[in-house]
Structure 1
Amino acid sequence: MPLSRRGLLTIGAGLAATVAAGTSRASAAAGRFDLAAPATQLIWKKALYDETVLQSFAFDNPKGHIYAVQLKNGAASAAAGDLCLTRLSLSGAVLGHMYLKGFGHGVQIGVESPGVLWTETDAAPDSSGAMWGRRLARFSFADGRTLTPSSSGVTTYTPIPGATNTTCAIDPSTGRLTMRYLLDGRMRYAVYELSALKAGGKDKLYDVAQPSGLGVFQGYASYGDHLYLLDGTAYSASNPAPGNTYITCVDLRTGAQMQRSLTQAGKSLDYREPEGMAIQIVSGAPRLCLGLASGAAGARKASIFYKSALV
């Protein structure tokens, strides 16, 4: 039967919508961030629920929330791998908290919107006594609740049996989870489709080695086919301003290092220790965010800066 002009327009619109739905994530993840571009302040010296140093953070982009994780107050809590998880507004106001007992160190976390967290869990000590997760955990945020690895509502995943130091980040533009893990003495990054991983799948999209030559590791994020690594230490007599905080870009398809750049974001902060990375999406555009801890011991504050220029 011949098609009318209205019919052709209807079919064309339907095809366009189908193509857009299938390619929106891929197009959103095109390019890589220019690490030499200047950084912009998002939040400045905000208190978290506990008073310890920020360890990492992630965004619930549709809800407009930031989730930040830190070691729970008290030396005994740190020794046990107990974490404090704070929910913040985009302006840095505290909106709630949870405690995660025996989960690990909090080097990196991920958010699956709305309000579902991915962290390390099942902490065990290394040779120095530091606590690190051995599996991944998925759970919903519940203000005021305390969780253990065996709590109801906590689902655990072991994508790579025998791996330790397992942490994760989620790329909101692609729906992929990147897991950092230690196996046979080597630190690596494995990338999974989040939906497949939740269903029990263990097939990797990528698996690359952490590049050599990094300083003290402090966090990571992935955007599209690129991985971003944060390293550096707090200001000290041997590390004066502007400090030694670097961001490194790695191509997840090849493992090749694409760029490494010193960042002076927040250089006026006192203490200024780099802590955590995340991808924020604002009006469809991505931002590569990094966290910085500041303030005196017992009264630490958190700041977040971002880079948005793509190359």
Structure 2
Amino acid sequence: MDNLSRRGLLTGAGAIIAAGTLGAPAASARPVRPLALPATKRFVMGGAGGELFRSKPLWGPTVMQSFAFDTPNNRLFTGQLRSGTPANSGDLTLSQLSFSGTVLGHMYLTGFGHAVSIGAEAVGSTTYIWTETDVDTANGRGRQIARFPWQNGATKTSSQVTKWKPVANGSVFTPAVDQRYGRLGVRYSLSDGMHINVYSLAAARVGDFSTVLASFKQPALTAGIDFQGWALYGSYVYFWEGEAYPGDPDPAQATSKLWCYDINTGQIVDSFRTLAGQSLTYREAEGMAVYGSTDATARLYFGFASGVTGDRRASLFYRNQLV
């Protein structure tokens, strides 16, 4: 994460609530919690896993902030701040990568946000990207969420995409797409901290956020450590945090930590400090996403940015043990 810390967004959320209401009619800011989501298996945070690729340059290349998989079409996309633009401008680069880490294409997004989390949704052979948008230049974060088709080589402004504000008095929006279970997660800030709502993906894609399938305040993670990404899968949400460092001496000192939260019980059920990619230079936790359409193929990926300024690289690791 270059030039901007997320820590202030977590510890001082009340200072960044945007005034006014934008976009389509929105759901209540504090919906009543409905019946539980159908229970699913969860990934084991310290369980079996592996590495997809290591130290690959993105288009730019700038630090990878987030990534997303279009599972049906076997596509991978990353979100980055655009090189040469002010940190709070909201100008982003999206890269498309092969599963070996080769850049296949790119898009530019002008005035969108920080790309803390992006999502991908397959509609036939077309990939639709979900991002934050309508940047608040005071903090570089998006005030709405957007959905638009991937178009290699294109440049989109915030006014050229379909966008919504699902929670009328929320701010700092980021989406996460759960393709397997057909849901959209929306993370947002209120005066008391960060919250997450879960919606039907089919309803959300047409701008209907009237039914909230689940809603909760994000639990406290590690004080003083930057939040770096999240993912929604089944009845669980996964969180990713960490700081850039030259090399942790032992697991007890590692700042890169995976968390698993059970939506139905409202409890953290698993966490793990990981030394994956320990030899990487710089090694900053960045981005989290799920790939897979069955338990046998499902993988929870977590990413690292590495390399020196001007030559940043991306690496992806995963967990695939479910219980």
TM-score, normalised on structure 1?
A: 0.85
Q: CA separation in 2, counterparts of 1:163 and 1:59?
A: 27
Q: Which residue of 2 aligns with 1:301?
A: 313
Q: Which residue of 1 aligns with 2:5?
A: none
Q: Which residue of 1 aligns with 2:7?
A: none
Q: Deviation per CA, 1:75-107: give whole Å up to 9, x if none.
A: x34231100000111111111100111100000
Q: CA separation in 2, counterparts of 1:273 and 1:282?
A: 29
Number of residue-to-residue matches in the alignment: 278
Q: Which residue of 1 aligns with 2:22?
A: none
Select the residue among 289, 296, 299 that pairs with 2:301.
Answer: 289
Q: CA separation in 2, counterparts of 1:38 and 1:159?
A: 36
Residue type of the alignment partner of 2:104:
L
Q: Which residue of 1 aligns with 2:59?
A: 49
The alpha-carbon deviation at position 162 of structure 1 amounts to 2.0
Identity of aligned residues (%): 43
CA contact (8 A) 1:57 1:276 kept: yes
CA contact (8 A) 2:69 2:120 kept: yes
Query: Secondary structure of the equivalent of 1:150?
Result: helix
Query: Secondary structure of the equivalent of 1:130?
Result: coil
Q: Deviation per CA, 1:203-253: give whole Å up to 9, x if none.
A: 11111111113331000001100000001101058x666631001111112
Unmatched 5+ residue regions in structure 2? 1-36
Q: CA separation in 2, counterparts of 1:282 and 1:90?
A: 17
Select the residue among 193, 198, 204 that pairs with 2:205.
Answer: 198
Residue type of the alignment partner of 1:230:
W
Q: Does 1:211 align with 2:211?
A: no
Query: Secondary structure of the equivalent of 1:78?
Result: coil
Q: Does 1:229 align with 2:239?
A: yes
CA contact (8 A) 1:46 1:92 kept: yes
Q: Which residue of 1 aligns with 2:259?
A: 248
Q: CA separation in 2, counterparts of 1:41 and 1:290?
A: 10
Residue type of the alignment partner of 1:134:
R
Q: Which residue of 2 aligns with 1:166?
A: 173
Q: Deviation per CA, 1:44-64: give whole Å up to 9, x if none.
A: 111100121100000011211
Q: Which residue of 2 aligns with 1:188?
A: 195
**Residue pairs, 1:78-157, within 5 angstroms:** 78-113=87-122, 114-125=126-137, 129-151=138-160, 154-157=161-164
Query: Secondary structure of the equivalent of 2:117?
Result: coil
CA contact (8 A) 1:71 1:77 kept: no
The alpha-carbon deviation at position 164 of structure 1 amounts to 0.8
Q: Pick which of 38-47 and 54-63 moved more.
A: 38-47
Q: What value does the CA root-mean-square deviation take over the aligned residues?
A: 1.8
Query: Secondary structure of the equivalent of 1:270?
Result: coil
Q: Pick which of 49-58 and 207-216 moved more.
A: 207-216
Summarize the Cα distance change of 1:159–1:119 in structure 2 as closer, same or farther, 3 Å threshold. Answer: same
Query: Secondary structure of the equivalent of 1:300?
Result: strand
Q: CA separation in 2, counterparts of 1:39 and 1:50?
A: 29
Unmatched 5+ residue regions in structure 1? 1-25
Summarize the Cα distance change of 1:200–1:130 in structure 2 as closer, same or farther, 3 Å threshold. Answer: closer
Q: CA separation in 2, counterparts of 1:250 and 1:79?
A: 30
Residue type of the alignment partner of 2:67:
F
Q: Which residue of 1 aligns with 2:42?
A: 32
Q: CA separation in 1, counterparts of 2:101 and 2:154?
A: 21
Q: CA separation in 1, counterparts of 2:192 and 2:172?
A: 11
Q: 1 or 2 for the larger relative contact order (CA 8 Å, sep ≥6)?
A: 2
Q: CA separation in 2, counterparts of 1:264 and 1:48?
A: 23
Q: CA separation in 2, counterparts of 1:200 and 1:213?
A: 31
Query: Secondary structure of the equivalent of 1:63?
Result: coil
Higher helix share: 1
Residue type of the alignment partner of 2:175:
C
Q: CA separation in 1, counterparts of 2:279 and 2:286?
A: 16
TM-score, normalised on structure 2?
A: 0.82
Q: Deviation per CA, 1:85-144: give whole Å up to 9, x if none.
A: 00111111111100111100000000001311000000103xxx4300010000011111
Q: Which residue of 1 aligns with 2:291?
A: 280
Residue type of the alignment partner of 2:243:
T
Q: Which residue of 2 aligns with 1:264?
A: 275
